[in-house]
Amino acid sequence: MSKYLIAGNWKMNTNLDEAKKITDELHGYKDFDSEVEMLICPPFTHIGFLSELVDLSRVSLGAQNVHYEPKGAYTGEISNEMLLSVGCEYVIIGHSERRSYFNETNELINKKVVNSLNAGLRVILCIGETLEDRESGNTNKVLEEQLTKGLLGVEETINLKIAYEPVWAIGTGKTATSEQISETHKFISNFLNLRFGDNIIKILYGGSMNAENAKDILSISNVNGGLIGGASLKPESFLSIYNSAIELC
Ligand code: 13P
Name the residue ranges covered by the structural domains of the chain. Answer: 4-248
Look at ligand 1, atom 2, and give the residue with the nearest C-alpha.
229
Q: Which of 46, 97, 165, 185 is catalytic?
A: 165
Atom of ligand 1 nearest to the CA of 11: 10
170 close to ligand 1 (CB < 6 Angstrom): yes
Each residue's pLDDT, cut to its tens digit, for the chain (249 residues) gives 789 999 999 999 999 999 999 999 999 999 999 999 999 999 999 999 999 999 999 999 999 999 999 999 999 999 999 999 999 999 999 999 999 999 999 999 999 999 999 999 999 999 999 999 999 999 999 999 999 999 999 999 999 999 999 999 998 888 889 999 999 999 999 999 999 997 789 999 999 999 999 999 999 999 999 999 999 999 999 999 999 999 999
Of the chain, the end-to-end C-alpha distance in Å amounts to 13
Q: Which pTM value belongs to this model?
A: 0.98
Residue type, 208: S
Q: What 8-state DSSP symbol labels residue 150?
A: H
209 close to ligand 1 (CB < 6 Angstrom): yes
- What CATH number has the domain spanning 4-248? 3.20.20.70
Q: Which of 46, 67, 95, 185 is catalytic?
A: 95
Atom of ligand 1 nearest to the CA of 227: 9
Distance 73 CA to ligand 1 centre (A): 32
Helix intervals (H) in 31-151: 44-53, 80-85, 96-101, 106-119, 131-135, 139-150
Asked whether 54 and 23 are in contact (CB, 8 A), the reply is yes
